A and B are shown apart, each in its own frame.
Chain A
Amino acid sequence: MIPELGHFALILALLFTLIQATIPLIGVAEGRLDLMVVAKSCAWVQWLLFVIAFACLVYAFVNNDFTVAYVAKHSNSLLPLQYKISAVWGGHEGSILLWALILSSWTVAVAIFSQRLPATMVASVLTVMAWISLGFLLFILFTSNPFERLLPNFPIDGQDLNPLLQDFGLIVHPPILYMGYVGFSVVFAFAIAALLEGRLDSAWARWCRPWTLVAWCFLTLGISLGSWWAYYELGWGGWWFWDPVENASFMPWLAGTALLHSLAATEKRGVFKSWTLLLAISAFSFSLLGTFLVRSGVLTSVHAFANDPERGSFILIFLSLVVGGSLTLFAIRAGQFKSFSQYDLASKEMLLLGNNLLLSVATAVVMLGTLFPLFADIFHWGKISVGPPYFNALFIPLVLGLLFLLGFVPLMRWRQNDLSLLVKQALPSLIASLIIAVLLPWWLAEQLNIWVVLALFMVFWVLSRLVFDLKQKLQHKRHPWQAMLNMTPSYWGMSLAHFGVLVLVVGAALTSVYSIEKDVRLDIGGSVSIADYEFRLIQLKDIQGSNYTAVQADIEVYQQQRFVTKLFPEKRLYSVQKMPMTEAAIDPGLTRDLYISLGEPLDGNSWAVRVYYKPFVRWLWLGGVLMAFGGLIVIRDRRYRFAIKSTKSSQSDGLFAGETS
């Protein structure tokens, strides 16, 4: 009964989505407020129905209802409870349902937090989101119904969840990542509404920024989590593989980051209007493209999701309608958004333009590298794969360029700056940073690597500018501490996010260059040394998990004869899927990780073992978290609290208010 209830809820949701996608439009066209508000109530009902459907699926998983095909495929009665719940989004059908649920949650959030926005704007935004939801609902109901039954011949037990996904990281990673992906639909809807209405002003940009920021924060967190998961779960010790699935989430992030910066210029100075619209459309389009790439299987990757060409065609048609449609609208309407502000070469506008240019190129680099094998296949250039060297070769200079620009942020004002003063201010910082960047690794690592020096050079340059800026702001204040507290959340959030970038870059540079990796043959009682750590294999034992058996190694780590820690890497064999899994053991630290994973048993009592020394690897994810946290602080800024703003002020800058008449 319960699965049918869920299915029924989805069909009802389709109905309400249809209403939400049409009636408010008529309201906007005829200026009837009563029809426009329908959008809000529909959004609520739709959300409720999605929650019911999702709850039904969770119920089916928790109660081992193997008559449901999706449950039988992704769960097992022996699976621990927390994984039974996360298995809900462990496969295709459930992920898409989660995606749709999150989309409807964002829609409801818009309905709640847009009390003070002009009614036409809200109605248009909710309508656009309903159209997207409609696409996903049709997709679920016609190609990926999670409630399909296996009657009358159903299995006694399920096929179990892919062991790779039986992990904490995979419980939280997809929901957070989807929050980011789908969150860009809000700013996308705002952009479409602006194009439809033909108006775009700084109030519009101000409404868009918090939505973009929240989505961006989730995406940042989601990507960091994914990288962390790959690091400890895949057993290769890598943190980024430039794998198609990773790139699929990275492209919307890059476009979203560009959008954040371009929105700032649009809000403050009314420039880059059509460019901002294009980025808003792109960020969400890349999210859809990512879904297509992952779900259709046109590109295969280490994540190797099961896939189905029929679903691929559906998403591609949907993608073409959404992106093609919005870009057509863009082509027709974007020309009328003129910017009247002027700015000089040395200005914040140019700085943000540079940022956007570099980020767009970065997006193009990732897209070209990801899709090139597909191009090659179609044009018969042979079977090709694009390796990490391609991405690294292009990406590192781009990041260095972005950091160079980032250093100017505190110095640069809007409109125009005195170029010679700028040089005078920047030069000492640049020189000092370069000296430190050369001396520090020289002193600590005793070997110089050009990339580390360049990365540190840029990091110290930005850091010095951030610190000087803070110092200058507090210099003439009577109570510096008080003054610090009085600074806007915008300032703190932005500085923290930029600081996060620095932490991430330090982590990436040092880990990539100074990591030590050793594959060795290890006997019981034997040992291996890397850096100044010694790993001793004490014993091996067989252990029994709830749905797997494993060999566990007992390894003691010594640093110059002093005991550091014990590590227990495992090689598991999951009984249902007959799939071996490497569970790495990690001793984490702020300045270094020790990482050990079991390879394969060799003859006798020895094992092939992989040992890593990974300096500063934690900084990568710490940087990601700081960036996301910085973004959240910015949202606290007064000027984004439009929900509780007085009607008066919203009318004074909301030019759409008069539109209904």
Chain B
Amino acid sequence: MKQWVYLLPLVLFIALAIVLWQGLSNDSRLLPAAMLNQPFPEFALPSLASSSQIITTKDLPKQIILVNVWATWCSSCLQEHPFLVELAKQGVVIIGLNYKDKRADALAWLKQLGNPYQLEIFDAKGSLGLDLGVYGAPETYLLDQHGVIQYRHVGVLTPDVWRQRLIPIIEVLKNG
């Protein structure tokens, strides 16, 4: 047989490797961190408690805070909730961004499971979520004293993530 036949397996493999590489970078879980190191987007949205009370960017406390995106239709949020309550007890300031939800459902949820949030923003249409680039709940953002997004976590905020990812950043922010 001719020599080129022996090259065939290599050629096939290279083609396969390129496809696998594409597949790897195509991973939908790799999210663009477009908003990272950007100030939190401007917004003016009602509070969860009443539609007449409007919360704007200026109402965010000027300290290190977490902004937690949640909704009652999201089962993972239910899993996450007890840990948020615990964090709030420890004195961590958490802002709730209720996302594409029904007001009554959300209020009932907080009443039943406890409210870890200092402020509850009600984003029924998901406009703020859109500006933030939220693609599903839960998501948690870490904001520094100047309202700049320092970290974004997609998915359930677990004690592990808190310890391994967020605490180190908070330490740096506090000392820096």
Contacts and interface: CB of A to CB of B under 8 A. Distances in A.
A657 B2 CA distance: 31
A168 interface: no
A64 interface: no
B19 A375 contact: yes
A309 B19 contact: no
Contacts of A578: 79
Interface in B103-148: none
A332 B3 CA distance: 8
A371 B13 CA distance: 13
Nearest to B21: A316
Given A150-B163, A327-B10, A330-B10, 10 more contacts: A297-B29, A309-B27, A316-B17, A324-B10, A324-B13, A331-B6, A334-B6, A335-B3, A375-B19, A578-B79
28 contacts: A69-B160, A69-B164, A72-B160, A73-B160, A150-B160, A153-B163, A153-B167, A155-B159, A278-B9, A296-B24, A297-B27, A298-B23, A298-B24, A316-B21, A319-B17, A319-B20, A320-B17, A323-B13, A324-B10, A324-B14, A324-B17, A327-B9, A330-B9, A331-B10, A335-B1, A335-B6, A374-B20, A378-B23
Contacts of B159: 155
B7 A313 contact: no
A327 B13 contact: yes
A324 B30 CA distance: 27
Contacts of A330: 6, 9-10
A408 B167 CA distance: 69
Contact of B26 (A69, A274, A319, A378): A378
B22 interface: yes
Interface string A522-541: 00000000000000000000
Contacts of A334: 6
Contacts of B29: 297, 309
B27 A298 contact: yes
Contact of B19 (A285, A296, A313, A378): A378
Given A330-B9, A331-B10, A374 B23 contact: yes
A374 B26 CA distance: 9
Contacts of B19: 371, 374-375, 378
A328 interface: yes
Contacts of A323: 13, 17
A292 interface: yes
Interface of B: 1, 3, 6-7, 9-10, 13-14, 16-17, 19-24, 26-27, 29-30, 79, 159-160, 163-164, 167
Interface of A: 69, 72-73, 150, 153, 155, 159, 274, 278, 281-282, 285, 292, 296-298, 309, 312-313, 316, 319-320, 323-324, 327-328, 330-332, 334-335, 371, 374-375, 377-378, 578
A15 B79 CA distance: 44
A281 B3 CA distance: 18
Contacts of A324: 10, 13-14, 17
A281 B6 CA distance: 13
Nearest to A292: B20
A309 B10 contact: no
Contacts of B6: 274, 330-332, 334-335
Query: Which among A72, A153, A578 has the greatest number of chain B C-beta atoms within 10 A?
Result: A153
Residue in B27, B79, B167 with the greatest tally of chain A CB atoms within 10 Å: B27
Contacts of B26: 298, 377-378
Nearest to B25: A309
Given A73-B160, A153-B163, A153-B167, A316 B10 contact: no
Contacts of B3: 335
Contacts of B164: 69, 150
B10 A328 contact: yes
A159 B160 CA distance: 10
Nearest to B78: A578
Nearest to B12: A327
B48 to A, nearest CB: 26
Nearest to B30: A309
A274 B5 CA distance: 11
Residue of B7, B13, B16 contacting most chain A CB atoms (<10 Å): B13
Contacts of B160: 69, 72-73, 150, 159
A330 B9 CA distance: 9
B92 to A, nearest CB: 14
A313 B10 contact: no
A163 B16 CA distance: 35
A153 B24 CA distance: 33
A309 B24 contact: yes
B136 to A, nearest CB: 16
Contacts of A378: 19, 22-23, 26
